[in-house]
Chain A
């Protein structure tokens, strides 16, 4: 049995073919308008086309200026940076943090400043950051596991914050501590490391212009799995020195304990400067696999450079030191 043609559909209701063929342009323009509106409102994550393609998502950070430290190397994709994380607070698997940190609330956030400084106390993160302009810094990140990424961080120079806090002459080191909250960080329910995670820098390392306190990447607020809302980035050191979810900054006279150094002292030193000549007891550090975005089975191995390629800027910090014993 044949259906009769629908009498209510008349010829003039049909979209003209040229318009039909241009429908994607129209939809694209509409989507762009919506995205602009969302951007102007500058609020929540919008599940947009970029997200579908694995592109950057999350709150856009306003007023970010391009820093002097760029890179002409291809950037690692947003997707790879945000799905391949060593953040044991959210699980020991590389893909655990991206899943386990989804519901983590990084706001409000308080940072305690303690030790040998004039302006100690508890600060709301906004207050700590407010006087500083955010800048973008493209840095290589070299993991001790011999892989590396190129990441466009957004943050403030650590030295600027330290200058504001006015450390005293007794401040020889800066110690950092991650949030300890097993109910919010499921990985902390297991003794994978001695919680909370701790890291530290010598004061001259901490006040080196390259040391960055990051609050974002790719112009967006830092994703939880990357250490939201506040993490350290020290590009000439192995990745684990870049402590995440910082809640405490303390100026100390003595070298602070650091988590990986305590877990395996012969494998992970306090300094942890990237050094192709000092092998990990079990792995070579001479070369690294560059995770440069996009799927490729083609070899992506590149030589590892002393101080991760920042030697011209930081090597003088270690003049006269034996970098083998002080690895």
Chain B
């Protein structure tokens, strides 16, 4: 019998909390004069935050050496997918309402909707292959497939940047902060050591073949 994992239970509770607060705000009718927009924005924000949290797991594991962190990655990713799906459902069902013709026009013509929709669409196969069985079945290709999460992060940030009104207001800063965090996480995943090692090898090989050139002080 699987024992109850206190850490995981706590993490699930933490991930569910924003959703519960949002449901509570609906119940209390405290979402303001434009509740649908507010609902959309909150769900979208949490989808992006959880996506970034999932992306932070591997770098944090390497930095801290705590390998147990890895077991939270799938959970964070799936919660991000849940919030993103709710975000999309609210947009389609509550915001656009019956204006379905506009949906297709919007997805095709509006870059912010196109990239947002694409980000969600690309999350679907990742969520679908998040089981252990799928991992085993896909083998090496599982890792390749799931590296797509970085592209999804870029699309999600772009979606946020584009949806915010222009002008020099503080609201514009928020998507840029997420963008900076994403850039940091991307940089952390670049295999710097391997690149450095490869470069070193290459230099050594080059200097080996043209040894005289290096040794010649006149060059």
Give residues in A with beta carbon < 8 Å to B. Answer: 76, 79-80, 83-84, 88, 92-95, 145, 147, 190-193, 260, 263-264, 267, 279, 282-284, 286-287, 289, 291, 295-301
- Known A193-B167, A267-B166, A301-B95: A284·B109 in contact at CB below 8 Å: yes
Interface residues of B in 23-44 (CB under 8 A from A): 26, 29, 31-37, 39
Bound CA–CA A228/B169 (angstroms): 23
Q: Please pick, from B32, B33, B109, B168, the residue contacting A193 in the complex, using a CB distance under 8 A.
A: B168
Do residues B169 and A88 form an inter-chain contact, with CB atoms below 8 A? Answer: yes
Q: Please pick, from B94, B96, B111, B166, the residue contacting A297 in the complex, using a CB distance under 8 A.
A: B94
CB distance from A238 to the nearest CB of B (A): 12
Q: Interface code B87-121, partner A: CB below 8 Å = 1, 0 otherwise?
A: 00000011111110010011001111000000000
Do residues A92 and B170 form an inter-chain contact, with CB atoms below 8 A? Answer: yes
Bound CA–CA A282/B102 (angstroms): 14
- Cβ–Cβ < 8 Å partners of B72 in chain A: none
Interface of chain B, main secondary structure: helix
Do residues A289 and B165 form an inter-chain contact, with CB atoms below 8 A? Answer: no
CB distance from A173 to the nearest CB of B (A): 23
Bound CA–CA A95/B94 (angstroms): 22
- Cβ–Cβ < 8 Å partners of B39 in chain A: 297
- Cβ–Cβ < 8 Å partners of A279 in chain B: 109-110
Do residues B110 and A80 form an inter-chain contact, with CB atoms below 8 A? Answer: no
Do residues A263 and B35 form an inter-chain contact, with CB atoms below 8 A? Answer: no
Do residues B96 and A295 form an inter-chain contact, with CB atoms below 8 A? Answer: no
CB of B150 within 8 A of chain A?
no
Q: Please pick, from A79, A88, A263, A300, the residue contacting B36 in the complex, using a CB distance under 8 A.
A: A300
* 11 A-B pairs in the complex with CB atoms less than 8 angstroms apart: A79-B33, A94-B33, A145-B165, A192-B170, A279-B109, A279-B110, A282-B111, A284-B105, A284-B109, A286-B102, A297-B36
CB distance from B120 to the nearest CB of A (A): 18
Question: Which residue on B lies nearest to A92, using beta carbons?
Answer: B169
| Besides A92-B167, A282-B110, 6 new A-B residue pairs in contact (Cβ under 8 A), listed by A number | A190-B170, A263-B166, A282-B163, A284-B110, A297-B35, A301-B96
Question: Which residue on A lies nearest to B31, using beta carbons?
Answer: A295
Question: Which residue on A lies nearest to B105, using beta carbons?
Answer: A284
Bound CA–CA A264/B20 (angstroms): 38
Interface residues of B in 149-178 (CB under 8 A from A): 162-163, 165-171
CB distance from B175 to the nearest CB of A (A): 13
